[in-house]
Amino acid sequence: MKKYDYLIIGAGSAGCNMAYRFKKNGKKVAIVDNEGIAKGASGAAGAFLSPLPGKENLYNTFVNNSLEFSLNFYEKLSPESIKKNGVLRVTNDNFSDDKLQTNNIKNRYISTDELQKISENFTKIDGYFYENAAILDPLKVCTKLIEGCDFYNKDIKELFHDGNCYNLEDIKADSIVLAQGAIKSLVSIPYIKISPIFGVKIDVKTTTKIPFNIHKSISISTNKNDETVAIGATKERHDTTEMECLTTCDKCSFNPNSQQEQVETLLSLADELIKLDNLEVVNIYKGARATIKSYFPVIGKVIDYEKSIKKYPSIQNGTKIPPQMLEYFPNLYIINALGSRGFVVAPLLAKLLCEEILESKKIPKELSSEKLFYKMARSKICISTVL
């Protein structure tokens, strides 16, 4: 039986970045995934790395700082897995001219005439070009991130802590990081309510040369290193259904819209931006983004909600109980809810979580699991105030 300092559950963008950080700090690391490496949302991702324009707020500042960090990080880690050709953003219902111009991110307006000089395949669009944008190869990046770590193709059904360490049949580990994406959590964490947003992305072959990524409501990539072009992604939220994902999307029988319908939507939205000659769809990917209401990701220690509330019921009436007095699952951490920008945000999140675990540095409030714990624990106060 092998024993590790850290076992990561989930080999997507989140888990692989955590594995990389621990290994870099000299720790003995294993990573498990029952589907393989980058087979969940991470395998379905574009994976576009683009800025989030608009008037500065906490969320887009976080995304744009993460983008700067991740572009440098991936370029150093695996230059062959990243193509940094920039992105042309075309206005849509959410991003008017004003919003695309109003920000600190360097950009340049490109008129229809200028675009058609670059390629006559562009339709009559114009837009704003952001140089700091790229597309990644998700599988190559995730594989590179976990080099030097042991990988197990294994479905973890439950966590068992024997009082000394986690003991999972043939693997032992002092600490565990849950990086399960949209899949039902292995422990009860009622204050982190993950809702899945499904999506389809396709890879196509085309003879059209695309000089940079293009984004309107969907994105079209530049011609990637393998000569294909990514088009993605559709978005489907099931607001009327309480959903907990038990499998990755390729094995899920719950398929509200036909896959073909989504592929046709992507092709028709792409056609509004650029004519793709000799088009052939070569791959279709499905995945579920894990999101929470605030759109911010979540990182931190995993608090045992039930035990904490039992110990300090007065939290629910507003009594201030400091985090260090709460009940935690032993050496258990989470990184999740990476939303639609998992490849943009994961490198910085993993750095922050690793620093909290190894150096006790504080996690920014908006990202912390503790914040969500207190929010849920105190939600009763708000209800009684309203009543």
Ligand X SMILES: Cc1cc2nc3c(=O)[nH]c(=O)nc-3n(C[C@H](O)[C@H](O)[C@H](O)COP(=O)(O)OP(=O)(O)OC[C@H]3O[C@@H](n4cnc5c(N)ncnc54)[C@H](O)[C@@H]3O)c2cc1C
* Site for ligand X, rule CB under 6 A: 9-15, 32-35, 39-42, 44-48, 155-156, 179-183, 186, 199, 201, 232-233, 248, 287-290, 336, 338-344
* Distance in Å, CB of 101 to ligand X, minimum: 23
In the bound state with ligand X, the residue whose beta carbon lies nearer, of 10 and 127, is 10
Calculated CA dihedral for residues 66, 72, 75, 81, nearest 10 degrees: 10
In the bound state with ligand X, the residue whose beta carbon lies nearer, of 63 and 303, is 63
* Distance in Å, CB of 221 to ligand X, minimum: 9
In the bound state with ligand X, the residue whose beta carbon lies nearer, of 52 and 288, is 288
In the bound state with ligand X, the residue whose beta carbon lies nearer, of 82 and 233, is 233
* Distance in Å, CB of 333 to ligand X, minimum: 13
* Distance in Å, CB of 338 to ligand X, minimum: 4
* Distance in Å, CB of 117 to ligand X, minimum: 28
Phi-psi region of 325 (alpha: psi -120 to 50; beta: other; left: phi over 0): alpha
Q: If we measure between CA atoms, which residue out of 176, 190, 165, 387 comes closest to residue 301?
A: 176
* Distance in Å, CB of 385 to ligand X, minimum: 35
In the bound state with ligand X, the residue whose beta carbon lies nearer, of 244 and 306, is 244
Q: If we measure between CA atoms, which residue out of 108, 128, 109, 112 comes closest to residue 120?
A: 112
* Distance in Å, CB of 152 to ligand X, minimum: 9
In the bound state with ligand X, the residue whose beta carbon lies nearer, of 234 and 331, is 234
In the bound state with ligand X, the residue whose beta carbon lies nearer, of 196 and 308, is 196
* Distance in Å, CB of 381 to ligand X, minimum: 32
In the bound state with ligand X, the residue whose beta carbon lies nearer, of 168 and 309, is 168
**Cβ proximity of 90 and 215 under 8 Å:** yes
* Distance in Å, CB of 85 to ligand X, minimum: 14
3-state secondary structure the chain: CEEEEEEEECCCHHHHHHHHHHHHCCCCEEEECCCCCCCCHHHHCCCEECCCCCCCCHHHHHHHHHHHHHHHHHHHHCHHHEECCCEEECCCCCCCHHHHHCCCCCCEEECHHHHHHHCCCECCCCEEEECCCEEECHHHHHHHHCCCCEEECCCCCCCCECCCCEEECCEEEEEEEECCCCECCCCCCCCCCCEEEEEEEEEEECCCCCCCEEECCCEECCCCCCCCEEEECCCEECCCCCCCECCCHHHCCCCCCCHHHHHHHHHHHHHCCECCCCCEEEEEEEEEEEECCCCCCEEEEEECHHHHHHHCHHHHHCCCCCHHHCCEEEEEEEEECCHHHHHHHHHHHHHHHHHHHHHCCCCCHHHEHHHHHHHHHCHHHHHHHHC
In the bound state with ligand X, the residue whose beta carbon lies nearer, of 33 and 377, is 33
In the bound state with ligand X, the residue whose beta carbon lies nearer, of 198 and 373, is 198
